[in-house]
């Protein structure tokens, strides 16, 4: 990668980057690979729910609002290695996306770090291969919109964004993605999200939560959040009231892409 403009130049001193969540509108598990990972086919959709990452040039790197091995810092190190130069920054992370919910919060933060650091340091590069090294959802969240993801989810084919609104509910506890995929090897799956059966086997409380919500709700990713498609914002606001007594809720709309590859 050849950064441009020259080292030392910053396009801007600071940027605030929304780190948008994603939904898996569907998810098929195609099988386990020899390396232990699972091949999938999923339709990603970026949504308006987001964390916020403020990126400022600085003499030394400091992260506020994250943890020591946060994906934000891992993204910064990966971008610096690709650029062949230090990219010190003050990074302030404001979390809104629940952790362990299947909404891509950590991956969204990593994608926002790549985008923000590229902007403040004037880098012109393809972020996709760097993003792929950070996690399967990160490449999609660098660009947003809607896409069919294959492989581990990192191979993307853009498609038209969804329409309408979403009601999103989360029961207040995380589910381990690794545990869910390992259980999928034992129980398999069916339906729009083929991880649903495995997620319920890993965390029985999730099945109870789904029963409380009733029909029409779909698990995103490996859980633990559910979403429901709605035609209008008012319909989505009405739908989230079904889960308000049992967990966290949000109303969100689908978004188009905010960046382009290359």
Q: Is 197 found in the same domain as 138?
A: no
**pLDDT of res. 124:** 87
Give how many domains the chain has, as a whole number: 2
Q: Tell whether 89 and 177 lie within a shared domain.
A: no
Shared domain check, 206 and 143? no
181 and 244 belong to one structural domain: yes
Judge whether 80 lies within some domain. yes
Per-residue model confidence (pLDDT) at position 244: 66
For tokens 């990972």, the residue is: 37
Whether residues 108 and 214 fall in one domain: no
- Residue 41 resides in a domain: yes
Q: Are residues 182 and 70 in the same domain?
A: no
Task: Supply the DSSP string of 66-81, one letter for each residue.
Answer: S-TT-HHHHHHHHHHH
Q: pTM for this structure?
A: 0.92
The residue range of the domain holding 185 is 165-252
CB 52 within 8 A of CB 19: yes
Do 186 and 128 fall into the same domain?
Answer: no
Catalytic residue, candidates 51, 109, 137, 162 = 137
Q: What is the pLDDT of residue 13?
A: 84
Q: Which residues are registered as beta bridge partners of 90?
A: 56, 62
- Which DSSP symbol is given to 11? S
Domain at 62, CATH number: 3.30.230.10
Assess whether 95 carries a catalytic annotation. no
Confidence at residue 220, expressed as pLDDT on a 0 to 100 scale: 98
pLDDT at 246: 65
Of the listed 11, 22, 51, 70, which one is catalytic?
22
**CA-derived radius of gyration, the chain:** 19
Q: What pLDDT does residue 260 have?
A: 67
pLDDT tens, per residue, the chain with 262 residues: 333 333 445 567 899 999 999 999 999 999 999 988 999 999 999 999 999 999 999 999 999 997 767 899 999 999 999 999 999 999 999 999 999 899 999 999 999 999 999 999 999 888 999 999 999 999 999 999 999 999 999 999 999 999 999 999 999 999 999 999 999 999 999 999 999 999 999 999 999 999 999 999 999 999 999 999 999 999 999 999 876 666 799 999 999 999 765 5
Check whether residue 74 and residue 171 sit in a common domain: no
Residue 5 in domain: no
Mark which of 124, 159, 194 sits at the end of a domain: 159
**pLDDT recorded at residue 192:** 97
- pLDDT value of position 11: 62
**Does residue 261 belong to any structural domain of this protein?**
no
Q: Which residue has the tokens 């339709």?
A: 43
The whole-number pLDDT of residue 2 equals 34
Look up 22 and say whether it is catalytic: yes
């Amino acid at each position: 990668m050849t950064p441009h403009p020259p080292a030392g130049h910053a396009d801007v001193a600071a940027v605030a980057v929304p780190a948008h969540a994603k939904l898996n509108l569907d998810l098929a598990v195609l099988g386990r690979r020899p390396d232990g990972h699972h091949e999938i086919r999923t339709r990603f959709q970026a949504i308006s729910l987001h964390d916020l990452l403020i990126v400022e040039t600085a003499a030394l790197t400091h992260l506020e609002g994250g943890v020591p091995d946060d994906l934000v810092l891992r993204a910064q190190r990966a971008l610096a290695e690709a650029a062949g130069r230090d990219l010190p920054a003050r990074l302030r992370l404001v979390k809104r996306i629940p952790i362990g919910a299947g909404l891509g919060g950590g991956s969204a933060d990593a994608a926002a770090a790549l985008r923000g650091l590229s902007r403040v340091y004037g880098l012109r590069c393809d972020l996709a291969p760097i993003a792929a090294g950070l996690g399967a959802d990160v490449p999609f969240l660098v660009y947003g919109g809607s896409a069919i993801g294959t492989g581990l989810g990192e191979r993307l084919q853009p498609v038209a964004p969804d329409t309408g609104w979403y009601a999103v509910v989360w029961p207040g506890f995380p589910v381990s993605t690794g545990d869910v995929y390992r259980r999928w090897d034992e129980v398999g799956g069916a339906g729009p999200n083929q991880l649903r059966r495995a997620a319920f086997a890993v965390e029985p409380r999730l099945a109870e939560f789904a029963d409380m919500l009733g029909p029409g709700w779909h698990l995103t990713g490996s859980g633990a959040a559910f979403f429901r498609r709605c035609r209008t914002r008012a319909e989505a606001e009405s739908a989230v009231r079904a889960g308000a007594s049992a967990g966290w809720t949000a109303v969100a709309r689908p978004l188009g892409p905010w960046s382009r590859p290359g």
